Amino acid sequence: MKQAKIFDFFNLSPPESSPPVRTSKTKQRSKSNTAAERSVASFDLCQPLNGIVKRLSLPDSCVEKEQPLTDDESTEIISSANKPFNSIVPIISVKVERAKERSVTPTPNGNSSAKLSKSKTSNLSPVLSSTGGCNVDLPAEGSSILAAKANVAPQCSNDSPSIDAKQLGKNKIPNKSSAGGSGSKQKRRSTTTTPQKEYTVEAIEDIQRVGNSPVFFVKWLGYAREQNTWEPLSNVSSCLMLDNFLSDQLAWWQYWVERIQQKVKQSDNYLTSKQTHENGSKTFQEILLEHKQYDWNELRADLILMSKLWMNQQRNKSVWQRIVLNMCRELSFTKRRDQLEQLHRFENHINAHEPTLSIVVENEQDLDAPPSNFIYLRANISAEGISIPNDPPVGCECNPCNGRSSCCGKLSEGRFAYSVKKRLLLRPGAPIFECNKKCACGPDCLNRVVQNGGKCKLTLFKTSNGRGWGVRTNAVIYEGQYISEYCGEVISYDEAEKRGREYDAVGRTYLFDLDFNDSDNPYTLDAARYGNVTRFFNHSCDPNCGIWSVWIDCLDPYLPRLAFFALRRIEIGEELTFNYHAQVTTNNVSNDEPQDGSSGGGERMKAMENGADASSGNSRTSGNASVLNTKGVTECRCGSANCRKFIF
Ligand SMILES: C[S@@+](CC[C@H](N)C(=O)[O-])C[C@H]1O[C@@H](n2cnc3c(N)ncnc32)[C@H](O)[C@@H]1O
C-alpha cells in the first residue's frame, strides 16, 4: 500500500460540514466502520467525554436477564459482576463532536433521520445517503434481515437477552398489514418484491445478540416501533448513527468494558501477539493484513455484548475470542496509525524547512518511526569555537557571467562550471567557485546554482534490505543537474574522532571529511544531529550521484560546501546514491579500498578529492543496517553488479 493511500485510509471519517454524497444506488462504502474508516481523532474507545451530559434511564419492564449459555464456556470469572447496575454506571456523557458528526435530516416530527436504501442486491452493503445518514441495501425476502416481534424488542435494554432463533428470517421487512397507513407504506411494501427502494433509519435503539453475533434494533422512519427490525452488523456498519450508538453504549458500559479490556490484556494470546510486534517477528505484510481484518465496530459491539454478559455473570467463548483477536489487531493498527502520524509530521517538518526541494516521507517496510532528534538545516552550522567566514574578499564585475566572461566561474579549473541549462560541466573532483555576494551579477546569474537550491522531487523511504532510510527521486534528474547540498555541523577533527567512535557503535555514520585540499583538513561535517535530506543518501559502488566541493561566500579553502550532482540521467523511482569513498586523483576518480589498519576515528565519507589519498577506515560497527563481515568491515548492500561487498 502506498503511504498516500494510507493517509486517506486513516482519514475516512465523515466530514462534519459536508455530508457524504450518495450518487446512486451503487455501493459507495463497501463495508463497515473497520479500521480503514476510523479517523485518528476518534480512535479511543473510552476517551474522556465532554459536552452534553445525559442520563439514560431504563424502565424495569425492559430488562430481561440473559440466560446462562450451555454451549460456550468463557475463561473468565467475574468477581464484581453482581454490583447493582445503577451504582456502576451512573452518568453517560455524550461528546459534542460526536453529536455534530451525525448529519441529520429534520423530520416533521422533529426527529433526525438517516436514510437506508434497499437495493436489489442481497449482499447487505450499506452506502451513505446525501442526507448524511446511511443507506442500506436491504435484501429480498428470505435473506438474513431479522425482524423482531413487536412486543419482544426492548428499547435500550441493558441486559443481554439473545434473540430467539425462531425470530430469525421471519417478517423481514414490515409488510403492508404491519406497516400501517403511512405514505411510505406502498414504497416499503413494494420493496419486498422489488427490493430497490430506500428506507430511512430513524434510530438504532438497541444491541443484542443472536447466538454469538451482535444485532441492532432499527427504528424505521415512518413506521411504528412495533415494526422495528433486528439487523446484523453488516447491514448497519456504515450508518453514521451506528458510531454514535456504539459510542454512547460504550460510555454506558464503561465500567465493564474497562474490566474486559484489562482482562484481555492479561491473556496469553494478547501478550504473545504484543511480543511478536515488539520483537518484529511479524512480517510487514502480516501486519498490514491484520489492519485489514480489524473491525472496530465489531470490537465495540462485542465489548458491549460482553459487558452485558459479565454483568449477568455469564460467559461466551466466541465473543471473548473475537474481542481478544480484535484487540490484538487494534494493537498493531494503533502502532501503524501512530507511525503514519509521525511520518506525516516529519514530512511536514522537513518541507517547512527545506527551501527548494519537495520531499515525501514513507515507510512501507516496517513500523519504524522516522528518525527523532534530527534537526533539519538549510545551511551548515558550526560547532562551538569554529566560525564559517561569510564575507568574501572579492567578487566579479561582469554581468552577465557566462563562459566568455572572466569571472568567478573561470576559477573552476579555468572553465565555466555550468551549461546554459545550469548542468555541471566539470569533471568529478574539480572545485566549483560560484559568484558570491560581492559579485555584480544578480540571483539569476548562470554561475549561481548551488546557492539557489536544488529543485528535485524526492521520497525519503525505508530501504528493504537493512540499509536504513534512503532517498529516491520522483522525477527524472538529468546528468549534471544539481540535487542538493550535504549540510551538517562543522566540527573539529578531534571532535569527529570522538563522535566517530559513538556512531560506529550503532552502525551509522554521518561524518563527512572536508579534505578536498589535503588529508590533514581540520574540519569534518557531521549530519547526525543537524542535517538535511542528503544525510540519508546511501552508499553505492555504482553511484548515480557525485559530490563536488563548492566555494561561494566562504572562500576558506578548508571550508568548502559539498554539493551533489547527478553523474548520469536518473530515472523516476531510482535511489540516489554516492560512493562514500570516492577519491580523485588529478585526472581520475577511483575507489578507495579499505586496508587492514584502523582509522581510529571511525567510518568517514569522502568527497571527491583533489589528488589526496582518502584514509581508509575499517569498520568496527554492528547494528541492524551495517553488518560486520568476517574481515571486520561493514558489509555493503548496494546490490550493484560491481559491489565491493563492504563500505568501510
Ligand atoms: C549517511 S548514512 C545514510 C542514511 C542511513 N541509511 C540512515 O538510515 O540514516 C550512512 C549509513 O547508512 C548505512 N548504509 C549506507 N549505504 C549502505 C550500503 N550500501 N550498505 C549497507 N549499509 C549502508 C550505513 O549504516 C551507514 O553508516
Residue 252 lies in a domain: yes
How many domains is the chain built from? 2
The mean pLDDT value of the chain amounts to: 70
Q: Are residues 321 and 461 in the same domain?
A: no
Residue 444 lies in a domain: yes
Residue 211 near residue 322, CB atoms below 8 Å: no
Q: Are residues 259 and 289 in the same domain?
A: yes
Q: Which of 56-60, 156-160, 459-463, 585-589 is most confident?
A: 459-463
Find the largest Cα–Cα distance for the chain.
99
Q: Other CB atoms closer than 10 Å to residue 356's CB: what's the count?
A: 12
* Residue 326 DSSP label: H
Q: Are residues 284 and 416 in the same domain?
A: no
- Give residue 248's region: left, alpha or beta (phi > 0; psi -120 to 50): alpha
- Domain with 478 in it: 354-583
Span from the CA of 537 to the centroid of ligand 1 (angstroms): 7
pLDDT at 455 over 70: yes
Q: Kindly give the residue spans of alpha helices, DSSP state H, lying in 439-579.
A: 493-506
Tell whether ligand 1 has an atom less than 6 A from the beta carbon of residue 538. Answer: yes
Closest CA to 584 of 514, 534, 516, 523: 516
pLDDT band at 137 (very low <50, low <70, confident <90, very high): very low
Tell whether ligand 1 has an atom less than 6 A from the beta carbon of residue 259. Answer: no
Task: Note the pLDDT tens digit of each residue in 211-239.
Answer: 999 999 999 989 999 999 999 999 998 78
pLDDT at 155 over 60: no
The closest residue, in CA terms, to atom 15 on ligand 1 is: 538
Question: 163 or 12, which is more confident?
Answer: 163
Ligand 1 atom nearest to 637, measured from its CA: 20
Tell whether ligand 1 has an atom less than 6 A from the beta carbon of residue 507. Answer: yes
Q: Are residues 460 and 541 in the same domain?
A: yes
Span from the CA of 495 to the centroid of ligand 1 (angstroms): 21
pLDDT at 150 over 80: no
Q: Are residues 389 and 491 in the same domain?
A: yes
pLDDT band at 519 (very low <50, low <70, confident <90, very high): low
**Strands 229-232 and 146-147, how do they pair?**
antiparallel
Residue 238 near residue 31, CB atoms below 8 Å: yes
The model's pTM? 0.68
Peptide bond into 20 cis (omega under 30): no
Residue 47 near residue 18, CB atoms below 8 Å: no
| Euclidean distance between CA atoms 362 and 135, whole angstroms | 36
pLDDT at 320 over 80: yes
Tell whether ligand 1 has an atom less than 6 A from the beta carbon of residue 509. Answer: yes
Half-sphere exposure of 426 (CA within 13 A, CB side): 33
Tell whether ligand 1 has an atom less than 6 A from the beta carbon of residue 469. Answer: yes
Span from the CA of 629 to the centroid of ligand 1 (angstroms): 15
Question: 137 or 212, which is more confident?
Answer: 212
Q: Are residues 493 and 378 in the same domain?
A: yes
Asked whether this complex has an ipTM greater than 0.95, the answer is yes
Residue 250 lies in a domain: yes
Q: Are residues 293 and 382 in the same domain?
A: no
Could you give the C-alpha distances from 249 to 91, 93, 256, 301, 302, in angstroms and in order?
12, 10, 11, 9, 11
User: Residue 334, SS3?
Assistant: helix
Ligand 1 atom nearest to 468, measured from its CA: 8
Q: Other CB atoms closer than 10 Å to residue 574's CB: what's the count?
A: 14
CATH code of the domain covering residue 256: 2.40.50.40
Task: Note the pLDDT tens digit of each residue in 279-315.
Answer: 878 889 888 998 989 999 999 999 999 999 999 999 9
Tell whether ligand 1 has an atom less than 6 A from the beta carbon of residue 604. Answer: no
Ligand 1 atom nearest to 535, measured from its CA: 1
Closest CA to 298 of 208, 205, 234, 210: 234
- Residue ending a domain, choose from 564, 583, 602: 583
Q: Are residues 329 and 401 in the same domain?
A: no
Q: Other CB atoms closer than 10 Å to residue 645's CB: what's the count?
A: 13
CATH code of the domain covering residue 495: 2.170.270.10
Q: Are residues 383 and 270 in the same domain?
A: no
Could you give the C-alpha distances from 412 to 550, 553, 620, in angstroms and in order?
9, 15, 38
Question: 355 or 600, which is more confident?
Answer: 355
Residue 198 near residue 114, CB atoms below 8 Å: no
Span from the CA of 599 to the centroid of ligand 1 (angstroms): 18
Residue 64 lies in a domain: no
Ligand 1 atom nearest to 510, measured from its CA: 1
Question: 626 or 227, which is more confident?
Answer: 227
Question: 104 or 279, which is more confident?
Answer: 279
Residue 542 lies in a domain: yes
Q: Are residues 328 and 369 in the same domain?
A: no
Residue 607 near residue 615, CB atoms below 8 Å: no
| Euclidean distance between CA atoms 560 and 516, whole angstroms | 8
Q: Which amino acid is at 72?
A: D
pLDDT given for residue 25 in this prediction: 29
Could you give the C-alpha distances from 23 to 20, 28, 131, 135, in angstroms and in order?
9, 8, 12, 11
pLDDT given for residue 409 in this prediction: 76
Residue 45 lies in a domain: no
| Euclidean distance between CA atoms 234 and 242, whole angstroms | 11
DSSP assignment of 581-639, as one string? TEEE-SS-EEE----SS--SS---EE---SSPPPP-------SSSS-B-TTSSBBP---
Q: Are residues 318 and 454 in the same domain?
A: no
- Residue ending a domain, choose from 551, 583, 615: 583
Residue 558 lies in a domain: yes
pLDDT at 600 over 90: no
pLDDT average, residue stretch 257-265:
97
DSSP assignment of 59-113, as one string? -GGG--PPPPPSS---S---SSTTS-HHHH---EE--HHHHHHS--EE-TTS-EE
Span from the CA of 606 to the centroid of ligand 1 (angstroms): 14
Q: Are residues 317 and 361 in the same domain?
A: no
- Residue ending a domain, choose from 304, 338, 372: 338
Residue 107 lies in a domain: no
Could you give the C-alpha distances from 435 to 389, 418, 464, 517, in angstroms and in order?
16, 12, 41, 21
Strand partners, 93: 53
Element (H, E) at 135: strand 134-136
pLDDT at 604 over 60: yes
Question: 643 or 194, which is more confident?
Answer: 643
